[in-house]
């Protein structure tokens, strides 16, 4: 029988007094308790530290609380929490959700049953600020349908994540053996997208269809669900250049770990192909009538289909917006 791994939770907080108590209580109510909870606070100015310290005195597991002297932002704060974890498996945790009682146990079981899996993520119930169900599941909101789920099950998550991000950090846990790969996290990336992409290049991911958290949406979410129309009125350069910089950073990191990449040459080729696509789209002229040759080339080579969610729809948007 496989030895049970030690489990850490990396929780990043900032001015979370309204919801943090419910999240902490849901962690304490797990059927499989963590071996430690590491909380990194990003210079909160509300009651968050007091709530955390009160919880730490009564928690049924060790709680380590560290504070930043100045605001560092969500990505850097998560990096500090991850860096401080001692467990074999690191669970990422947002301050405003609620975990269902079997979350830790079911994810741990998946890791134990498949020693080759590098990260596990799950579905979630989308709820409002008062935990009232919205009737929407997270995977539906991020368009992680049956075809995409099948690709993850076939250990083919890396090409999928080059096209769309489907892994939400609040539902994810990963093996600490990949910490050297993912840290430090570039500030231009959101922590969960970076971690999932890199681990999918060096290992494989497992997707559990059970909704294991209540994923709270409220006015102060730092990330939250995708927002339709967020790129409206932006130039193509403003949309694509940040993506280009992010994927160039991913390529640099993966090249530094090339000896650990299964099928590494193919994955680097895929990433290079995505960079060709991003450079072409970032370079589309402001004048719409001048965009057609470059955009059409990306469509004919099927790069819109491979690297843009929506394919034809994205091509039309880039041509006409």
Place of tokens 């470059």: 294
Pairing of strands 117-127, 173-175: antiparallel
Cα angle vertex 264, ends 253, 309, to 5°? 75
The answer to whether the beta carbons of residues 10 and 89 sit under 8 Å apart is no
d(CA 21, CA 19): 6
d(CA 321, CA 318): 6
Give percent of the chain above pLDDT 70.
Answer: 95
What is the reported pLDDT for 3? 86
Which residue blocks in 130-289 are alpha helix, DSSP H?
Answer: 138-141, 146-153, 157-163, 179-182, 191-202, 236-255, 264-282
For residues 82-89, give the mean pLDDT: 98
Query: What is the tens place of the pLDDT at every residue in 224-247?
Result: 566 555 566 789 999 999 999 999
For residues 188-208, give the mean pLDDT: 97
Q: Is the pLDDT of residue 148 over 80?
A: yes
d(CA 155, CA 120): 12
d(CA 250, CA 158): 12
Query: What is the tens place of the pLDDT at every residue in 252-308?
Result: 999 999 998 999 999 999 999 999 999 999 999 999 999 999 999 999 999 999 999
Looking from the CA of 22 toward its CB, the CA atoms found within 13 Å total 16
CA dihedral 22, 131, 133, 208 (to 10 degrees): -20
d(CA 28, CA 87): 17
What is the reported pLDDT for 157? 98
Residue 319 C-alpha from the chain's centroid = 30
Confidence of residue 218 (pLDDT cuts 50, 70, 90): confident
What is the reported pLDDT for 242? 98
d(CA 2, CA 55): 32
For residues 194-217, give the mean pLDDT: 97
Confidence of residue 138 (pLDDT cuts 50, 70, 90): very high
Q: Which domains does the chain have, with CATH numbers?
A: 7-216 (3.90.550.10), 236-320 (no CATH)
For residues 50-59, give the mean pLDDT: 98
Name the token pair of 299.
């469509």
Place of tokens 């960079």: 275
């Amino acid at each position: 029988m496989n030895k049970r791994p030690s489990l850490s939770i990396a929780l990043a907080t900032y001015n979370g007094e309204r919801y943090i108590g419910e999240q902490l209580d849901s962690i304490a109510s797990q059927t499989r308790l963590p071996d430690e909870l590491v909380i990194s606070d990003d210079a909160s100015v509300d009651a968050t530290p007091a709530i955390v310290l009160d919880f730490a005195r009564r928690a049924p597991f060790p709680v380590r609380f560290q504070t930043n002297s100045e605001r560092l932002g969500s990505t850097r704060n998560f990096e500090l929490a991850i860096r401080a974890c001692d467990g074999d498996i690191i669970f990422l945790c947002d301050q405003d959700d609620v975990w269902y009682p079997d979350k830790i146990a079911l994810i741990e079981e998946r890791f134990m049953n498949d020693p080759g899996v590098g990260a596990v993520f799950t579905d979630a119930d989308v709820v409002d600020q008062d935990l009232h169900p919205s009737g929407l599941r997270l995977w539906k909101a991020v368009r992680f349908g049956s075809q995409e789920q099948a690709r993850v099950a076939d250990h083919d998550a890396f090409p999928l994540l080059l096209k769309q991000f489907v892994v939400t950090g609040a539902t994810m846990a990963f093996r600490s053996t990949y910490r050297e790969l993912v840290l430090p996290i570039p500030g231009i990336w959101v922590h969960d997208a970076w971690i999932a992409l890199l681990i999918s290049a060096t290992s494989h991911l497992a997707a559990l269809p059970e909704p294991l958290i209540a994923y709270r949406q409220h006015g102060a979410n730092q990330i939250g669900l995708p927002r339709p129309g967020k790129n409206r009125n932006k130039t193509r350069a403003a949309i694509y250049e940040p993506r280009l910089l992010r994927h160039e950073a991913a390529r640099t990191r993966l090249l530094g770990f090339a000896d650990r990449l299964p099928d590494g040459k193919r994955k680097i080729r895929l990433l290079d192909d995505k960079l060709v696509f991003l450079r072409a789209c970032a370079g589309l002229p402001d004048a719409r009538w001048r965009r057609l040759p470059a955009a059409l080339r990306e469509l004919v080579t099927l790069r819109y289909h491979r690297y843009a969610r929506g394919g034809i729809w994205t091509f039309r948007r880039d041509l006409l917006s």
